[in-house]
A and B are shown apart, each in its own frame.
Chain A
Amino acid sequence: MKTSRRGVRPVAAAFIITAALSACGSTTSGGSSGTAATTRDIRLAIVGPMTGDAAADGQHILDGATLARDQINNAGGVASGLYKGAKIVLDPLDDTESVDRSVTLAHQVVDSSQEWAFLGTGFSDAAIATAPVLERASVSYLSTYASSAQILAKPFKNVFVVPPTFPAYAYSAAEVAYKQGYRHAAVLQANAAFGLQMAKLFTDHFTALGGMVVDTETYTLGDKNTQGFVAKALASQPEVIAMAGLTGDDVAQLHQIRSAANSTPVLDLEAVAFSQSFLTTAGNDALGFVGQTPSDPKRKTAAAAHLRSIYSAKFHTDVIPDPTAFTYEAVIGVARAMESGPSDRTQLGAAIHNVQLADTGVGPLRFDPSGARLGGTLWYFHVANGAFVFDTGYRQTAPLAVHEVPLEE
């Protein structure tokens, strides 16, 4: 048969051009969510990846804000003070999981002067880049999912990290692994700021405790082609495997581990597994998987029971995803700060620093002078019979310190 004389160079060039074109596609969503705004309304920009690969995270962020908004507005709006009765209005903004887009949205919020605060964003990379933009304009920024300590590396006055910061996750995971008797760990880290930072903190603390990380594998975030590097990690014969990636990554890696007839315990560093979709997607591979979350469905406080009931009524499960829990807290915190009557949005940051909530439903909420949450607790669970079984908690008592606390305070 005749061979073609066509070369591949023109096609390759076309491919590269079109790849670049397709990468340029992005969408934004805007517009207010909920009731029509009035001048007394408290508008909040709710930012996250509403479209694209991480759209689930954006939806979780919006879910938490919506729950809090409905709760506050149904109770008559801001409870007291100058803004008594003012309603919360949400402006969902899509950062498409892009750092540049997130920064652009921050500039838009600064320029618009409509929004009182900027809440959300997905990955820490975006939060780190966004924080200085808002700080310069004295606009309050509450990061409700990203929790890298680098977000607060500079002395900001208007930037707050609502989840416990990275050391809380990594240090407590190292403590859990060490207390369970594991001394040799392998780490699977996503090649993104959050994955690399979390894995390093885990390695540092696990080593300080007396353990050893025998292998570290770095993979491209979202890559389901896990077979090779999982096999390499298993070849180092770890006693436990720590994962620092997203939910889908963890599930794909779990499958490869188990399909190699390997029962090595697996530990999540990123608190990404506490969701119904993880249980469904991972199936039997999740048996024994150890994870962490700020939500303990067994907490018996009135606030916790209330949050579970309103979440369950709307979403038919009491497994509250982390971005939902933290964004819910953030909106509650802003509404409480408004009760002190800040004269304009540049004063809101100081008001948030004075907020002290004994229990938002997720836990006590207050911030240290740097904007880091004080007293955040991570609850540890393992998976058994297709359900989460909670074991213990770890509270962040200082930026670099965690202490074990019992369940059911």
Chain B
Amino acid sequence: MGGSLVTAGAVALSLGVLYAVLGVGFALLYGLLGEVNLAFGDAAVLALLVSAAVFSATGSVILTALAALAVGVLASVAVERFAVAPLRGRGNTLAPIIATVGAALILRNLSLTPFGAEDRSYPQLFGSGALVAGTTSLDATVIAGLSVLLGAAAAGAWAFRRRWGRAVIAVRDAPVGARLLGIPAARVSVVLYAIAGLLGAVGGVLVGAHVRTVGAELSWRTTLLAFTAAIIGGGSLRGAALGGFALGGVEAVAQVLLGSIWAEAFALLLLVSVILLRPRGLRRALTTSRT
């Protein structure tokens, strides 16, 4: 039993880090703009597949990482500009969400057209070293993911104490008032989508480096995981990170102690439970801050 707990803990940490990064990227838009981007996973996976192609062509880890980040940002900003922005502020909250579904289908086909549906290998961008824990391993993606989370937390803490961060809060809480005060709300939205795309690409790259085989079919599951982590966390950035770790923990316990077939059921049970019992998410249990 002790060995199983060590294994479950290692799996929980491995998955939790990945889900936390994805959840924070998703929550950035949901928490700060109140917008749900269902093309999030497709943008991340497009970035992942492009970066895989760049690595196979160049073998350069730096170019691979840069390609992923660039595509992630561009795809996310394109979703904002062409799908969400034209529908924003028209009083229909569902229309922008549906528009992101359309954007997701376009991005998915952008992935499928050049890369096909076949799985392809993804390089060990963070090195091949792994710490064996029980009957599994903690690979370098855990360290990389934790570094990203800490970096994002530090950057957030720094930004929200400055003029630009306060502008974001103003746009979130009173968009009309913010515009009257001369705050460029549209630019704020674009920047937030760019950062969300960046985090999505980073999360996608971490997933790719962890599972080592990637394909376009990952996109919907990536959106689902990010959405679930964000909802469990109540939409705040810290909450989304917490939600990601909670989601990873639940999946790990289900997989290691019960059986893999229960993992998704338990994850969805967690999501439904939070929606029913704590509709504002888990964040209230640990924090009252949105950031």
Contacts and interface: CB of A to CB of B under 8 A. Distances in A.
A280 B101 contact: no
A117 to B, nearest CB: 26
A283 interface: yes
A53 B216 contact: yes
Given A223-B260, A231-B136, A18 B101 contact: yes
A22 B212 contact: no
Contact of B264 (A22, A220, A227, A252): A220
B119 A229 contact: no
Contacts of A225: 15, 211, 251, 255, 263
A224 B272 CA distance: 24
Contacts of A14: 36, 93-94, 97
Interface stretch (A4-12, A131-139, A198-206, A352-360): A4-12
A320 B23 CA distance: 42
Interface stretch (A80-88, A257-265, A383-391): A257-265
Contact of A235 (B93, B135, B252): B135
Interface extent on A, as a size class?
35 or more
Interface in B60-113: 93-94, 97-98, 100-101, 104-105, 112
A160 B255 CA distance: 39
B137 interface: yes
A195 to B, nearest CB: 11
Contact of B137 (A7, A55, A259): A259
Of A226, A227, A262, most buried by chain B (CB within 10 Å of CB) is: A227
Given A217-B260, A224-B218, A18 B11 contact: no
A255 interface: yes
A1 B172 CA distance: 12
A262 B101 contact: no
Nearest to B56: A280
B7 interface: yes
Contact of A283 (B105, B118, B121, B139): B121
Contact of B275 (A12, A222, A228): A12
Nearest to A50: B117
Contacts of B8: 228
A44 interface: no
B159 interface: no
B118 A56 contact: yes
A282 B212 CA distance: 8
B134 A21 contact: no
Interface string A215-259: 001111011111111111011000000000001100110011001
Contact of A261 (B120, B137, B211, B234): B137
B210 to A, nearest CB: 8
B263 A228 contact: yes
Contact of B290 (A4, A251, A252): A4
B14 interface: yes
Given A1-B290, A227-B136, A231-B11, A53 B261 contact: no
Contacts of A219: 260-261
A220 B266 CA distance: 13
A177 to B, nearest CB: 21
Contacts of A226: 211, 260
B4 to A, nearest CB: 7
Nearest to B118: A56
25 contacts: A3-B288, A4-B34, A4-B236, A8-B275, A8-B280, A9-B275, A12-B275, A14-B93, A22-B38, A219-B260, A227-B210, A228-B8, A229-B263, A231-B256, A232-B135, A235-B3, A235-B135, A248-B213, A252-B213, A256-B137, A260-B132, A260-B137, A262-B135, A277-B120, A285-B212
Top-4 shortest CB links A-B: A228-B255, A229-B260, A248-B119, A231-B136
Given A218-B261, A223-B221, A235-B7, 11 more contacts: A4-B280, A8-B279, A18-B101, A22-B38, A51-B112, A217-B259, A228-B15, A228-B263, A232-B255, A235-B3, A281-B121
Interface of B: 3-4, 7-8, 10-11, 14-15, 30-31, 34, 36, 38, 93-94, 97-98, 100-101, 104-105, 112, 116-121, 130, 132, 134-137, 139, 160, 169, 173, 210-218, 220-221, 227, 231, 234-236, 251-252, 254-257, 259-261, 263-264, 271, 274-275, 279-281, 288-291
